[in-house]
Amino acid sequence: MGNIPRKIKDDVSLVICGSAGKGIQTVETILTQLLKRSGFHVFGTKEYMSRVRGGSNSTEIRVSSTSRPSLLDRINILVPLDKAALKHVQKRISENTLILADKEHFGPVDEKEAQGLIDFPFSQAASDIGGAIYANSIVAGLLAQLFGIDQEEMSLFLDQFFSEKKPEVIENNQKAAAKGYEIAQRIVEAEGIAIDIERHPHIAEDIFINGAEAVGIGAIAGGCNFLSSYPMSPSTGVLVFLSEQAEKFGIISEQAEDEISAVNMMLGAWYAGARAMVTTSGGGFALMEEGISLAGVMESPAVIHLAQRPGPGTGLPTRTAQGDLELALYSGHGDFPRIILAPGRLEEAVYLTRDAFHLAAKFQIPVFILTDQYFVDSYYNIPSLDFQSKNRENDIIETEDDYRRYRITENGISPRGVPGFGKGLVVTDSDEHDEAGHITEDLDMRVAMVDKRKRKLVDMKKAAFPPELVGTDNYDTLLIGWGSTYPVIREAWSLLGREDVAFLHFSQVHPLHPDTSAYLRQAKKRIVIEGNSDAQFASLLRRHTKQEIHQTILKYNGAQFSVEEMTTRLKETIDIKE
């Protein structure tokens, strides 16, 4: 046991693992809140099974002195809540892992597994206090101690956290936490554990949200006042968040009978003057495609939050992937323009979702926000947000008598009116139509309308968000990523410490910003990194820039890249000679 490094500095990966429905969530919430309040940078992410009880789920909490919101393989401290949990994370356990387990509760553990196991008898303690339910607070108290959180602070927070419970329950939880705190003190002393992470008091004021909340907040900032969706992991978080906020922010939130209804309701809502969105995932989105095409021909704004998970079919419902890029890009029959955004950081998710509404309203097109399970379920502290600068503009006109919904204009955009506002009638049609919106079979009008819709692309490209270059301009090798991989690639890149390598992150994947080609041209070697087996973004870049992509780093087992894996794979790939 002497090997276990009992002193950990700056960056700790703590993993709690146990079966579904057994309170990981409570431990996690208490602990991360306490950590953040105490001035640590905190990042949390989870992987879980598609079931309600049983199985093995795990949450990684990364506590660090600088912001490091990305997944680690390494586990510094593991708290397995049951024996299966140990097996579940086996591959990630090394001799450097400190395992805090209730030996008695576990029963006999085989020799190898037992190595490094530090006994932490929380079951007995919990039942002494009043039942198994108090185990969570004991574990939370233990971890609070390990991270050196002030006991007073902890106690104050617990009062607040349990404030809606009965006095007795509050008291017992306080006792439990204190018990954990106490046990931990003994362990710390006996084992000589010392965690040393610099604190930044201002972090206490930071915002602390996950990806789903970021999208939801962005939607509200973008003026979203109508949401129609059908539950589907991992997109449901946004539905839940906006439903909770519906009353406060004047949002109609409706659970539709199916995804087809959801997307068609959304279009009806935009037509009548709302700012509407849907939130969905792969298979649910597939059902919406006819509706997306309807938005295309109607030139209706539409905002689609598409939270990716591994397909095909039902695939792995609670796992992560970046496999729906091409699905979104080519969704819906017929040719029509669209925008696809793919945030890599929480702030980006907030601002891009807000902007999705503005862009949808301006160009009268569908705008996608592509996230994934990893992104929506991960959270960390971020500094404050600013919305004042970019509020909803008047994108709806009061119509005149002679209003024609599809007036042919130079930039392809026809002023949008809504029924009941102005003297005109608003006619919108899923058939090819004339300027007034009425059905037509005039083949020249058809061409005029296709061209009009397509002309929007000129301004859309101008409005595209540029990719973000990380590193110096002087690169030979360019790492390219999009969406949720941003923090992981960035961290792995910085660990590489190579000046000749830069990283280009795309948060808008379609249409691509005009500078894209220039960025790629400068590189001698281009490596695209993404979470699917088809290298979809690589294809898109090839097609758009007509330049070669030399290597791809792909992952499609349902998990996000970890920093370690990314670092290894980058090292392997960067110096491959073609």
Partner 1 sequence: MESNIFDMGKIDIAWCPGCGNFAILKALKAALAELEITPHNLVMVSGIGQAAKIPHYLRANVFNGLHGRALPPATAIKAVNPDLTVIAESGDGDMYGEGGNHLINTMRRNPDITNIVHNNMVYGLTKGQASPTSRMGFKTPVQVRGVAIEPFNPIALGIALDASFVARAFAGDFEQMKEILIKAISHHGYALVDILQPCVSFNKLNTYEWFKTHTYYLDNAHDPTDRTAAFGVALEENKMALGVIYQNSERACFETTTTVYEDNKGPFCNRKPNLEKLNDLITSKGR
Ligand X SMILES: Cc1ncc(C[n+]2csc(CCOP(=O)(O)OP(=O)(O)O)c2C)c(N)n1
Please choose which of ligand X, ligand SF4, partner 1, none residue 244 contacts, taking the beta carbon within 5 to 8 angstroms, the exact cut-off set by kind: partner 1
How far apart CA 201 and CA 368 sit, in angstroms, is 37
Peptide bond into 487 cis (omega under 30): no
Q: Do the beta carbons of residue 161 and residue 33 sit within 8 Å? A: yes
Angle between helices 346-363 and 211-221 (to 10 degrees): 40
From candidates 1, 252, 447, 576, binder to a second copy by CB under 8 A: 447
* Backbone φ and ψ of 424, nearest 5°: -95, 170
Nearest distance from C-beta of residue 498 to partner 1, angstroms? 37
Instruction: Determine, following the binding rule CB under 8 A, whether residue 418 of this chain makes contact with a second copy.
Output: no
Nearest distance from C-beta of residue 118 to partner 1, angstroms? 29
82 secondary structure, DSSP code: S
Nearest distance from C-beta of residue 543 to a second copy, angstroms? 5
The 3-state DSSP class for residue 337 equals: coil
Nearest distance from C-beta of residue 11 to a second copy, angstroms? 25
How far apart CA 326 and CA 324 sit, in angstroms, is 6
Please choose which of partner 1, ligand X, a second copy, none residue 329 contacts, taking the beta carbon within 5 to 8 angstroms, the exact cut-off set by kind: a second copy
Instruction: Determine, following the binding rule CB under 6 A, whether residue 231 of this chain makes contact with ligand X.
Output: yes
Stretch that binds partner 1, among 93-101, 168-176, 382-390, 558-566 (CB under 8 A): 382-390
β-bridge pairing 379-382 and 41-47: antiparallel
516 secondary structure, DSSP code: H
From candidates 3, 52, 167, 389, binder to ligand SF4 by CB under 6 A: 52
Chain CA centroid to CA 221, Å: 18
560 secondary structure, DSSP code: P
For residue 443, list its beta bridge partners: none
> Which residue number is nearest to ligand X in terms of Cβ?
232
Helix (H) or strand (E) holding 280: strand 276-280
Binding mask 249-288 for partner 1 (x = CB under 8 A): xxxxxxxxxx-xxx-xxxxxx-xxxxxx------x-----
Nearest distance from C-beta of residue 138 to ligand X, angstroms? 32
How many chain residues are in contact with ligand X, going by CB under 6 A?
8
Helix (H) or strand (E) holding 329: helix 325-329
For residue 253, list its beta bridge partners: 227
- Give whichever of 232 and 303 is closer to ligand X, judged by the CB atom: 232
- Give whichever of 233 and 516 is closer to ligand SF4, judged by the CB atom: 233
How far apart CA 122 and CA 124 sit, in angstroms, is 6
Tokens of 345: 């950081």
Ranges within 45-84 binding a second copy (CB under 8 A) = 49-50, 55
Binding mask 6-45 for a second copy (x = CB under 8 A): ----------------------------------------
Please choose which of ligand SF4, ligand X, a second copy, none residue 285 contacts, taking the beta carbon within 5 to 8 angstroms, the exact cut-off set by kind: a second copy
Best CA proximity match to 482, nearest among 304, 578, 362, 345:
345
Instruction: Determine, following the binding rule CB under 8 A, whether residue 514 of this chain makes contact with partner 1.
Output: no
Instruction: Determine, following the binding rule CB under 6 A, whether residue 190 of this chain makes contact with ligand SF4.
Output: no
Residue 40 burial (CB count, 10 A) = 26
Best CA proximity match to 344, nearest among 472, 233, 465:
465
- Give whichever of 303 and 566 is closer to partner 1, judged by the CB atom: 303
Q: Alpha-carbon dihedral of residues 568, 572, 574, 577, nearest 10 degrees?
A: 180
From candidates 66, 94, 124, 314, binder to ligand X by CB under 6 A: 314
How far apart CA 139 and CA 30 sit, in angstroms, is 10
Binding mask 549-568 for a second copy (x = CB under 8 A): -------xxxx---------
Nearest distance from C-beta of residue 216 to ligand SF4, angstroms? 25
For residue 277, list its beta bridge partners: 227, 303
Helix (H) or strand (E) holding 515: none
Stretch that binds ligand X, among 57-65, 225-233, 513-521, 533-541 (CB under 6 A): 225-233
Ranges within 315-344 binding a second copy (CB under 8 A) = 315-317, 319, 321, 323-324, 326-327, 329-336
Instruction: Determine, following the binding rule CB under 6 A, whether residue 443 of this chain makes contact with ligand SF4.
Output: no
How far apart CA 37 and CA 16 sit, in angstroms, is 20
Please choose which of ligand X, partner 1, a second copy, none residue 271 contacts, taking the beta carbon within 5 to 8 angstroms, the exact cut-off set by kind: partner 1
How far apart CA 392 and CA 355 sit, in angstroms, is 9
Please choose which of a second copy, ligand X, ligand SF4, none residue 52 contacts, taking the beta carbon within 5 to 8 angstroms, the exact cut-off set by kind: ligand SF4
How far apart CA 432 and CA 444 sit, in angstroms, is 11
Binding mask 3-32 for partner 1 (x = CB under 8 A): ------------------x-----------
How many chain residues are in contact with a second copy, going by CB under 8 A?
62
How far apart CA 24 and CA 57 sit, in angstroms, is 9
Instruction: Determine, following the binding rule CB under 6 A, whether residue 232 of this chain makes contact with ligand X.
Output: yes
Binding residues for ligand SF4 (CB under 6 A):
52-53
Binding residues for ligand X (CB under 6 A):
230-232, 259, 283-284, 287, 314
